[in-house]
């Protein structure tokens, strides 16, 4: 029997309890031993819930119990989660977490501590909810040099953009609907402004390239400036607008990463990733393109990923599972140097197509779906060039937030 | 340094050599040690090829060399591959293979031998080419009871069906094109008749359910009866015809498996898996739906999966990676009891819609895209019921090969 402790009895914590109960038999077969929850830590009480028997309020009871071999941190936030996770590792316990903030910020350090002690620090649930992506990147795509990771990594924004696309409703209404359904938080900033996706692409990039990618370095835009007019244009092109989190390795010295809305056509592998689903597309230099798809959030899918990590840690007690993520910092290239095509709208009153063609060597003009408006896609130009040219577009409408 | 031997210097074997050479540095980082090819076995000579220095014609040189820790079998076929793989394991070497025939037939036995000796028998490349699916099923989806696996597992037939759909050409012409491009063998029987997909779904099912699924038990139909008229109907429905390999666990005692063409609509997760790509959709009882997508064949993607297995074996020398696939046979339920909806075409001269409605309680009539023809989708009925009713359809056109 392998004893574990669960820190936090919220949505994911209660999901972990439920998964271990529902699938106990098959999990024992997979892990080679029974997984027993010895403690659950929470500051709250849960009168009437059977977990009351194992509920504790003091983390030291868990940290000081040598019988606990694996600690599952599903509290979220940096404090006190980071302190608890670090102490657990220092006390000889493997740590499993779903906490993307903590992994993005302290992952390299916690992995180092685990490595030095033949323990494990695992975080499959921190990116893509239930989708297996951390373990495949770490253990399956090992024959490849990863050259690109592009993901739809935030279910809330994907739900909002899907609703806007399907029903033609405004951003605010779609957000309200997502909140009513429990997909979006009361304060949706972390999702809507791209911060959540930013942390996730930082984790995937660090793991793929073997160096620390600081999330603060990643250029991040959200979706709050996307309007129903943008959606109308996307539809006319049979395209969709998605919030992409990408990192691209042009060579060993040139990696860039960004989170920003993109307009993609039907032939893109992530085109069909809709609603709250996530999809992660990985390109390797020998394997070519692979794609992973599934529920990016939700109690049980996320708990499934957490428990799969518990099984892996149980199979690797006293033996570290190798990762190449080191604490050496990867310097990303300046986003100003990165090239994209941009979707631009101008009013005909202020601008003619001839003016535009003078400014950009070559443009793809879009069908006139809004009266008195010219819309076009620029040629491939750097972010810096676009910023400069923007100043010279007289009749600019909306923001230039959508790459193509 | 970890010494390996490669059995067979064909397409995949030469791909393995190329991948280890191209990505040697990053593979060493991932494996924690250098991977060195000490021998390549082939009956042929390769004058001028640098591998001549390590080419041997006698497998015993490899089997008797205690320095060889990992044997990579990429010869294909059952004999002598199976004998070589078994002997290698018995001599204390881990075995990696891309050989789906051997894994489907002898996987349970070879896994048992490996387990008893703390060695590994790994076969990621046997299903889905480069797509990580064996390792995710084995190591990632461990918190779930798998209730369904449905895959497009054969790139050749998917290419043929995509061509027929996109260009409206006949089966024979699409097959010819696939052969000219090297996607289909001169003798395409194994692909076209579904035998290749059958072996692959047998492997995935055995691994997911933990018992031996014999490929001979799996009901298998191919695509050679699909006509351009079927494609026209599919298009009218905004649907596509795909060769599906499925296994579905209704409960512990009721598992069925089949390979057969299906007509699927745009909301199906495998709808966008076209050309030679493969896609595998897995449903677990807690994770919900996940999908894996990528190149299902090809020299480098397949070699990437083989080398990833080599890395895993190198990280687990003298330590077995647990699988639940046991040699205990899983009895599949009789396919006659399985329910589907069927796509049926009849000539108006022989049959009226009233006749059809008498025969089937309820049908979904399709738009008349072929003159003087009635086409419809049956309600959900068992395979047995469909066989019986088929005798009473007077004006039947084409075969009833397409489920919906």
List the structure tokens of B71: 């044997």
Q: Which domain holds residue B289?
A: 136-295
The per-residue pLDDT for B51 is 97
Asked if pLDDT for residue B328 goes beyond 90, the answer is yes
Q: What is the pLDDT of residue A106?
A: 98
Residues 6+ positions from B308 with CB-CB distance below 8 Å: A139, A140, A141, A142, A143, B124, B132, B135
Contact flag A307-B124 (C-beta cutoff 8 Å): no
Distance CA A60, CA A51 (A): 19
Pairwise CB contact (< 8 Å): B136 & A135: yes
Q: State residue A394's pLDDT score.
A: 84
Let me know whether B18 and B114 are in one domain: yes
Closest Cα to residue A168, out of A91, A236, A254?
A: A236
Last residue of a domain, one of A315, A344, A369: A315
pLDDT 10s digits, B219-262? 999 999 999 999 999 999 889 999 999 999 988 789 999 999 99
Measured between beta carbons, the chain A residues lying within 8 angstroms of B142 are 27, 30-31, 307-308, 311-312
| Alpha carbon distance A45, A62 (integer Å) | 17
Task: Kindly state whether residue A249 falls inside one of the protein's structural domains.
Answer: yes
**What is the nearest CA distance from A319 to chain B, expressed in angstroms?**
10
Distance between CA atoms of A212 and A107, rounded to whole angstroms?
A: 9
A302 → chain B, closest CA residue:
B287
Tens of pLDDT, residues B308-324: 999 999 999 999 999 99
What is the predicted pLDDT for the residue at A73? 98
Q: Is A254 helix (H, G, I), strand (E, B) or coil?
A: strand
B322 is a domain residue: no
Quickly state the pLDDT bin for B395 (edges 50, 70, 90).
confident
Q: Is the same domain home to A120 and A159?
A: no
Do residues B6 and B293 touch, judged by C-beta distance below 8 A?
no
A162 lies in the same domain as A286? yes
CATH classification at residue A212: 3.30.360.10
In this structure, the answer to whether residues B163 and B196 fall within a common structural domain is yes
Assess whether pLDDT exceeds 80 at residue A207.
yes
Q: What is the pLDDT of residue A37?
A: 98
Which are the contacts of B260, defined by CB distance < 8 A and separation ≥ 6?
Answer: B194, B219, B220, B221, B243, B244, B401, B403
Residue of B272, B286, B306 with shortest CB distance to A22: B286
Catalytic residues of B: 200
pLDDT tens per residue, range B340-383? 999 999 998 888 888 888 899 889 998 888 998 999 999 999 99
Instruction: Tell which of B286, B302, B309, B319 to mutate to test the A interface (max A CBs under 10 Å).
Output: B286
Give the pLDDT band of residue B268 (cuts 50, 70, 90): confident
Domain C-terminal end among A245, A266, A296: A296
Residues A287, B294: C-beta atoms closer than 8 Å: yes
A168 backbone dihedrals φ, ψ, rounded to 5°: 65, 20
Domain shared by B172 and B248, yes or no: yes
Angstroms from B23 CA to nearest CA on chain A: 7
Whether B134 and B302 have beta carbons less than 8 Å apart is answered as no
Instruction: Tell me the chain B residues in contact with residue A274 when contact means C-beta distances shorter than 8 Å.
Output: none
Nearest-neighbour CA in chain B from A97: distance (Å) = 15
Same domain, B194 and B264: yes
Structure tokens that stand for B389 in this block: 């009713």
| % chain B with pLDDT above 70 | 100
Say how far apart CA A20 and CA A38 lie, in whole Å: 12
| CA A59/CA A355 separation, integer angstroms | 67
Q: Are A6 and A47 in the same domain?
A: yes
CA distance A287 to chain B (A): 4
pLDDT of residue A79: 95
CA distance readout (Å), A21 to A1, A27, A39, A358, B143: 15, 10, 15, 67, 11
**Cα A303 from chain centre:** 16
What H or E segment, with its residue span, contains residue B180? helix B171-180
| Inter-chain CB proximity B287 and A269 less than 8 Å | no
Is residue A296's pLDDT more than 90?
A: no
- Split into its structural domains, chain B has a count of 3
Q: What's residue A63's pLDDT?
A: 98
Amino acid A256: pLDDT: 95
Q: Which residue of A has its CA nearest to B278?
A: A290
Tokens standing for residue A165: 């696309």
**Residues A11, A155 share a domain:** no
* Mean pLDDT within A287-307: 95
Residue from the list B23, B29, B136 with its beta carbon closest to the beta carbon of A210? B29
Asked whether residue A195 falls in the same domain as residue A224, the answer is: yes
Interface contact A23-B322, CB threshold 8 A: no
Taking CB atoms and an 8 Å limit, are B288 and A294 in contact across chains?
yes
- Taking contacts as CB-CB distances below 8 angstroms, the residues of chain A near B312 are 139, 142
- Give A50-68 pLDDT, tens digit per residue: 999 999 999 999 999 999 9
- Pick the catalytic residue from A200, A242, A394, A397: A200
Separation of CA A374 from chain center: 35
Residue B39 and residue B26 in one domain? yes
Cβ contact A204:A244 at 8 Å: no
Flag whether A329 is in a domain.
no
Which token pair is A254? 């040139």
CATH number at residue B74: 3.40.50.720
Indicate whether A206 and A116 sit together in one domain: no
Of the three residues B315, B346, B371, the one that is the final residue of a domain is: B315
pLDDT digits (tens, 9 = 90+) for B271-300: 989 999 999 999 999 999 999 999 988 899
Q: Is residue A403 part of a domain?
A: no
Q: Measure Cα distances from B56 to A145, B45, B59, B369 in Å.
A: 31, 9, 7, 61
Catalytic status, residue A115:
no
| Cβ(B317)–Cβ(A329) below 8 Å | no
The residues that bridge with A2 in the sheet, in sequence order, are A35
Nearest-CB residue to B140 (from A27, A132, A324):
A132
pLDDT at B266: 83
From the list B132, B140, B145, which residue is nearest A308 (CB)? B140
What the block records as the tokens of A374 is: 């010219």
Residues B160 and B253 in one domain: yes
- ipTM attached to this prediction: 0.94
Nearest CA in chain B to A316: B321
Percent above pLDDT 70 for chain A: 100
DSSP class of residue B3 equals: E
Per-residue model confidence as pLDDT tens digits over B86-141: 999 999 999 999 999 999 999 999 999 999 999 999 999 999 999 999 999 999 99
Task: Search chain B and give the residue with CA nearest A311.
Answer: B142
Assess whether pLDDT exceeds 80 at residue A306. Answer: yes
SS3 A264: strand
Whether pLDDT at A102 is above 80: yes
Quick one: pLDDT at residue B400?
Answer: 74
Residue at A320 is within a domain: no
B271 part of a folded domain? yes
Beta A68-73 vs A2-7: how paired, if at all? parallel
Tokens of A252: 């060993």
Does pLDDT of A351 surpass 90?
Answer: no
pLDDT at A156: 95
Contact assignment for B308 to A30 by CB distance below 8 Å: no
What mean pLDDT is predicted for residues A216-244?
A: 94
d(CA A152, nearest CA chain B) in Å: 14
Say yes or no for a CB contact (<8 Å) between B27 and A143: yes
Which tokens sit at A246? 């990408």
Q: Cβ contacts (< 8 Å) between A144 and chain B: which residues?
A: 23, 26, 304
Query: What pLDDT, in 10s, does the model give residues A316-347?
Result: 999 999 999 999 999 999 999 999 999 999 99
For B38-65, what is the mean pLDDT? 97
Does residue A272 fall inside a structural domain?
A: yes
Q: Is B402 domain-assigned?
A: no
- The phi, psi pair for A361, rounded to 5°, reads -55, -35
């Amino acid at each position: 029997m392998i004893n574990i402790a669960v820190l936090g009895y919220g949505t994911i914590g209660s999901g972990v309890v439920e998964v271990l109960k529902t699938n106990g038999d098959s999990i024992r077969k997979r892990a080679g031993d029974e997984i027993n929850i010895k403690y659950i830590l929470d500051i709250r009480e849960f009168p009437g819930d059977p977990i009351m028997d194992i509920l504790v309020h003091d983390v030291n009871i868990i940290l000081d119990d040598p019988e606990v071999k694996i600690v599952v941190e599903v509290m979220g936030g940096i404090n006190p989660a980071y302190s608890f996770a670090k102490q657990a590792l220092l006390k000889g316990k493997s740590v499993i977490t779903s906490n993307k903030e903590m992994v993005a910020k302290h992952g390299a350090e916690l992995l180092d501590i685990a490595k030095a002690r033949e323990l494990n620090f695992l975080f499959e649930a921190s990116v893509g909810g239930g989708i297996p992506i951390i373990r495949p990147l770490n253990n399956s795509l090992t024959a490849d040099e990863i050259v690109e990771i592009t993901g739809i990594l935030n279910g809330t924004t994907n739900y909002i953009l899907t609703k806007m696309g399907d029903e033609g409703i405004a951003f605010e209404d779609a957000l309200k609907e997502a909140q009513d359904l429990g997909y979006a938080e009361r304060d949706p900033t972390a999702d809507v402004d791209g911060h959540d996706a930013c942390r996730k692409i930082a984790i995937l990039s660090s793991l793929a390239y073997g160096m620390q990618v600081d999330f603060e370095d990643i250029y991040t835009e959200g979706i709050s400036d996307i309007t129903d007019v943008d959606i109308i244009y996307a539809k006319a092109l049979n395209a969709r607008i998605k919030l992409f989190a990408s990192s691209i390795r042009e060579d060993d010295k040139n990696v860039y990463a960004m989170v920003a809305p993109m307009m993609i056509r039907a032939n893109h592998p992530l085109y069909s990733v809709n609603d709250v689903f996530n999809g992660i597309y990985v390109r390797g230099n020998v394997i070519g393109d692979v794609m992973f798809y599934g529920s990016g959030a939700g109690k049980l899918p996320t708990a499934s990923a957490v428990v799969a990590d518990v099984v892996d840690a149980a199979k690797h007690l006293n033996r570290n599972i190798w990762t190449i993520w080191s604490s050496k910092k990867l310097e990303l290239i300046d986003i100003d140097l990165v090239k994209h095509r941009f979707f631009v709208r101008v009013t005909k009153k202020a601008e003619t197509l001839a003016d535009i063609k003078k400014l950009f060597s070559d443009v793809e003009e879009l069908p006139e779906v809004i009266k008195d408006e010219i819309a076009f896609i620029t040629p491939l130009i750097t972010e810096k060039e676009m910023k400069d040219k923007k100043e010279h577009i007289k009749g600019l409408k909306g923001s230039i937030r959508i790459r193509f």
